[in-house]
Structure 1
Amino acid sequence: MVKQPNNILITGGAGFIGSNLALTLQEIYPESKILILDDFSSANFKNLKKFKGEVLACDVSSDEIFFKADEFQPDLIFHLASITDTTVTDQELMMRKNVDGFKNVLEIAYDNEATVVYASSASVYGNVKEHIPLKEDREKSPENVYAFSKYIMDNIAEDFSEKTGLKVVGVRYFNVYGYGEAHKGKFASMIYQLYRQMKAGKRPRLFKWGEQKRDFVYIKDAVEATILAKEAPHSTVYNVGSGEARSFNDIVSLLNKYLGLDLQPDYFDCPYDFYQEYTQADMSKIKEELGFVPKYNLEKGIKEYVDILEGRI
């Protein structure tokens, strides 16, 4: 039987994944105390209307984290706070918020001998040419400063664990979608963006010719994998995806089906110098070590998501 943590700290707990994680943890561990730290730069209090714990405003890359987290004495930390906007080009800001913030969290973990589960990203793999599932140990090629910051966090986590003996586990998210992301606006998932366009009666806009493929993982699967990660037998990094690569055309087709529409895509040229054409997670490691198998394929995930957005459930 898994030991119930006494004090759970969640950084970035008012954001998309963080809020879903917090609400799930309070159901699983009703006797645990949960503290959320978030600077609310990419969050919405509405995501936490059913949260029963404490929420404090805090920039984890600043010294205030030590005053607000040390007294709490966490024995389990989920670190999701970071700049997730991949269009940010301010390299100093990205590295300070993401990398310096992570180092502060690890210092809190060291002081309290806490296990840490932190958000990594599939962006560390870069623009993969071959269409094969991506294994965690493959060569990394971060193409922007966001991906680079996550790559450096992975390196720091490994070094910290070797030096301290504490368990630090990365969850390398692929394209997460689902309820609670609306506040992200244009940085929400493509599934939400396309839903909004089609709901408004507009043709869904896709880069030519909509056959770019991504590994889309539903929020409930992402949260389950994140919580399971704390049971890892050792410090490591796990891919968190669906294990399937699906096209943007597939998304449009499913949204048409579940919304009762028949809108054809409006294809246009991709304006970006760098754009990932294909991502697919190799999920064998997390399955073998933790027994995690995604419960939602794209059909099931989009159907449930649309039902929620349409007020059907």
Structure 2
Amino acid sequence: MERILITGGAGFIGSHLADGLIDQGYRVRVLDTLSEQVHGDNRQPPQYLNPAVEFMHGDVCDAGAVREALRNVDAVFHFAAAVGVGQSMYQIERYTDINNRGTAVLLQSLIEQPVKKLAVASSMSVYGEGLYRTTSGQTCTPPERPLTQLQHGQWELTDNNGDPLQPLPTPESKTTSPASVYALSKYDQERLCLLVGQAYNIPAVALRFFNVYGTRQALSNPYTGVLAIFASRYLNGNSPSIFEDGEQRRDFVNIRDVVQACVLALERDEAAGRALNVGSGRSYTVREIAEQMGRLLGREEIRPVITEQYRVGDIRHCFADIGEAQNILGYRPRIELEEGMAELAEWLQTQPAFDRFEAANEELSQRGLRL
């Protein structure tokens, strides 16, 4: 039986992974600072955290806490991070400190206390825009949409002739192009882990999570996943706000499938040195997701609002090509979206949800980050 450390393990993804590892016979230690934005102001370990977890309250930027957490550990899942595209654009120092420096502190300690495997949570946001195909059938990686185009409400990407580009599943071979401070910090996290892992013979893998959803998402965090934000709006009798025209496409992957991918990455040596997509392999529009959430929560009378506004750092289309994870890890997504969202909706009905979306949106507007 091996001991696994999960940094940020009291959060949404980390706590589910802890359950999955414990079910597989691993011992799990969690290091978490219990951020107020995620866990509220009582700063206590959440009730959902598995009682078999060895919990350590500490900051990943604190070298002493990290060294203590690494004692007698065989593998590390590095999930500790500040999360939020919009917020990262005005809390630059905080995001860079937690995500970039926190990773550096962990890696510095791993030089002295090496482990058998290191897995880091990366993000689909490192790609910027996804992969596209031109009308002539050529694949391409377009640049960011120019501001003048967005100001005129022209949301789709086009080629140099003005012809529309068709979005394709995005493979790991697509050139990365982070479009926000958050995305850049996630790319920095994955590159640091893979680089240091190779240098010190620590098998490392970066898992590029797409839009993860499921129970335990922080419903009062206005910078969390879009499904949790929509749910908070519905549960408080408010219309979800959808940016642009709602036709942007994303890949929504259930937390149980994410746990499957994480356990496989821990146990399969073939993953070492790689960055792998973890998604469902399917795409849906944001509008579809918002409307389905309303139906499942019994709030069909509340219609989503299409804002025709743009947030700095947003991209148009990005959804996963999961072929590499399937071939290398044996990863097979099992949870259909309808099943996963029904499970989420049932859980949501039992949870308090403080709707802080408007305050967060106003913050973006005042800083010129919402157009």
CA contact (8 A) 2:56 2:69 kept: no
1:208-287 alignment, distance < 5 Å: 208-232=244-268, 233=270, 234-262=272-300, 263-287=302-326
**Cα distance 1:297–1:60, how it changes in 2: closer, same or farther (>3 A)?**
same
Preserved contact between residue 65 and residue 104 of structure 1 (Cα < 8 Å): no
Matched, 1:36 2:30: yes
1:156-201 deviation digits (Å, cap 9, x = unpaired): 2232232122201111111111111125521232222222323344
- CA shift at 1:103, angstroms? 2.5
> What is the deviation of 1:34?
1.8
Mapped partners of 2:6, 2:220: distance in 1 = 19
Provide the C-alpha distance between the structure 2 equivalents of 1:16 and 1:84, rounded to a whole number of angstroms. Answer: 12
Taking the aligned partners of 2:336 and 2:263, their CA distance within structure 1 comes to: 20
1:197 aligns to what SS in structure 2?
A: helix
Q: TM-score, normalised by structure 2?
A: 0.76
Paired position in structure 1 for 2:121: 119
1:163 matched to which residue of 2?
199
Residue in structure 2 matched with residue 99 of structure 1 by the alignment: 100
For 2:225 and 2:174, locate their aligned partners in 1 and report how far apart those are by CA, in whole Å.
25
2:208 aligned to 168, 172, 177, which one? 172
The residue aligned with 1:305 is 344
Match of 1:65 in 2: 65
- In structure 2, distance between residues paired with 1:259 and 1:183: 14
Check 1:274–1:150 CA distance in 2 against 1; reply closer, same or farther (3 A cut). Answer: closer
Task: Tell me the CA shift for residue 101 of structure 1.
Answer: 1.7
Instruction: Work out whether residues 158 and 235 of structure 1, in 8 Å CA contact, stay in contact via their aligned partners in 2.
Output: yes
Rounded Cα–Cα distance in structure 2 between residues aligned with 1:168 and 1:129: 26
The residue aligned with 2:20 is 24
SS at match of 2:221: helix
- 1:46 counterpart SS class: coil
Per the alignment, do residues 209 and 37 of structure 1 end up closer, same or farther by CA in structure 2, a change over 3 Å counting? same
Q: Could you say what secondary structure the match of 1:59 adopts?
A: coil
Q: State the partner residue of 1:142.
A: 178
- Closer, same or farther in 2 for the Cα pair 1:182/1:91, shift >3 Å? closer
Gaps of 5+ in 2: 40-44, 133-166, 351-371
Contact 2:100–2:189 (8 Å) recurs in 1: yes
Query: 1:109, 1:116 within 8 Å by CA — same for their partners in 2?
Result: no
CA 1:243–1:190: 2 relative to 1, 3 Å: same
Structure 2: distance between partners of 1:180 and 1:96: 26
Shift of 1:284: 0.2
Q: Distance in 1 between matches of 2:91 and 2:239?
A: 34
1:10 alignment counterpart: 6
CA contact (8 A) 2:63 2:109 kept: no
Structure 1 length normalisation: TM-score? 0.89
Match of 2:143 in 1: none
Preserved CA contact (<8 Å) 1:69 1:108? no
1:209 is displaced (CA, Å) by 2.4
Match of 1:83 in 2: 82
Contact 1:22 1:51 in 2 (8 A): no
Q: 1: CA distance between counterparts of 2:83 and 2:290?
A: 25
Match status 1:292 vs 2:331: yes
SS at match of 1:187: coil
- 1:195-219 Cα offsets, whole Å, 9 max, x none, are 2323344333222422111111111
Percent identity for Structure 1 against Structure 2: 30
Number of residue pairs aligned between Structure 1 and Structure 2: 305
User: Counterpart of 2:336 in structure 1: which amino acid?
Assistant: N
